Amino acid sequence: MAEVPEVETLARDLCALVVGRRLSGARAPLPEAVRFPEPAAFGALVAGRRVEDANRRAKWLLCDLEGGVTLAMHMMLHGTLRLLPTGAPTDAQTMVVFGLDGGEELHLRDRKGFARVAAGPAAEVAARLRLDALGPELLDPAFDAAGLAARLVGRRGVLKTTLVDQKTLAGLGNRDADESLWEARIDPRRKAGSLTLDEIARLLAGARAVVEEGIALRGTMTDLRGVRGGARQDRKIYGHAGEPCPRCGTLIARTFLGQLITHYCPGCQV
Ligand SMILES: [Zn+2]
C-alpha cells in the first residue's frame, strides 16, 4: 500500500536518480491519470524542463521543474513509479510515461488506475490540490505533542479517522495509523478530542517510530529500480485480525471506522 514510507522512498529515489535531468515530454496512455492541464498540454508543459528538486508533502510527490513549474504525482493506494530504458514496453497498467534524457523513461503504473498527476505554476498546483490545507508533517522536528494536541482539542470525530485525515496531520495512512495506535496503546474508536497530553505524546512517538521504520526499510512496494522494500504490510497488528496480540495475547479485532478497515487490540488499547 502506498503510504508515507513508500512515497518517501520514491521521493528519495527521484532525488538520487532524476533530479538534474531533463524531461523530454510526457504521454498518458490512460488520459484520466492527468488531472490538469489536459493531457496534450500537460506533456507540452513539462517537455524540455530540467528537474530541479523532488520532495514529498503528505502523500504527494512534488517535483520542482525549471521555470517555476511543479509536477505533482499521487500514487493513491497501489501506484508505482519505475525508471526504465527508453522504449520499454507499456501495458494496461501504464498510466503516464515521462521521457528523460540519458536514454530512460519514468513510468507511472497503477493496477487499479487511480494514480494521478498534475502540473502547473507552483502556486496554482498548491491551490488546486489544496496543498496549503494539509496539516503539519508528522516527521517535521518542529512539530511536537503540544502541536498535535492543538489540532485534536475539541474534535468530536473518531480518533482513527481524524488521524488519517491529512488536514489534521500529514503522514499517516490507514495501515500506519493502526500500527501507531497499537504502539501507543490507544483505542482507535475513541473521540479525537478525548486524549490526554501524555497519550498524545505516546501517539506521536509511536507514529514516528512506525513511519521512520517503514522509511528505513524502504517501504513495502517497489522503488524506482523495481526493487521491493523490506517493510511489512502486516507488521504487528495490521492484517492480523483473529491472531494473538504480540503484547498481551488478546485476539486482535478488526472493524470499520468510517469506511476504513481498522485493526486494534481490545486487551491493551484503551
Ligand atoms: Zn494487546
Which domains does the chain carry?
Answer: 4-133 (3.20.190.10), 145-264 (1.10.8.50)
Determine the distance separating the centroid of ligand 1 and the alpha carbon of 213, expressed in angstroms.
21
Cα gap 252→267, rounded to integer Å = 8
User: Which residues, other chains included, contact 1 with Cβ-Cβ below 8 Å and sequence gap of 6+?
Assistant: 77, 78, 173, 174, 175, 220, 221, 233
Tens-digit pLDDT string for the chain (270 aa): 999 999 999 999 999 999 999 999 999 999 999 999 999 999 999 999 999 999 999 999 999 999 999 999 999 999 999 999 999 999 999 999 999 999 999 999 999 999 999 999 999 999 999 999 999 999 999 999 999 999 999 999 999 999 999 999 999 999 999 999 999 999 999 999 999 999 999 999 999 999 999 999 999 999 999 999 999 988 999 999 999 999 999 999 999 998 999 999 999 999
Determine the distance separating the centroid of ligand 1 and the alpha carbon of 179, expressed in angstroms.
12
Determine the distance separating the centroid of ligand 1 and the alpha carbon of 192, expressed in angstroms.
21
- Contact predicate 92/35, CB 8 Å: no
Angstrom CA distances, 252 to 148, 161, 237, stand at: 27, 19, 7
Type of residue numbered 14: L
Determine the distance separating the centroid of ligand 1 and the alpha carbon of 62, expressed in angstroms.
38
- Model pTM? 0.96
Determine the distance separating the centroid of ligand 1 and the alpha carbon of 165, expressed in angstroms.
25
Determine the distance separating the centroid of ligand 1 and the alpha carbon of 183, expressed in angstroms.
10
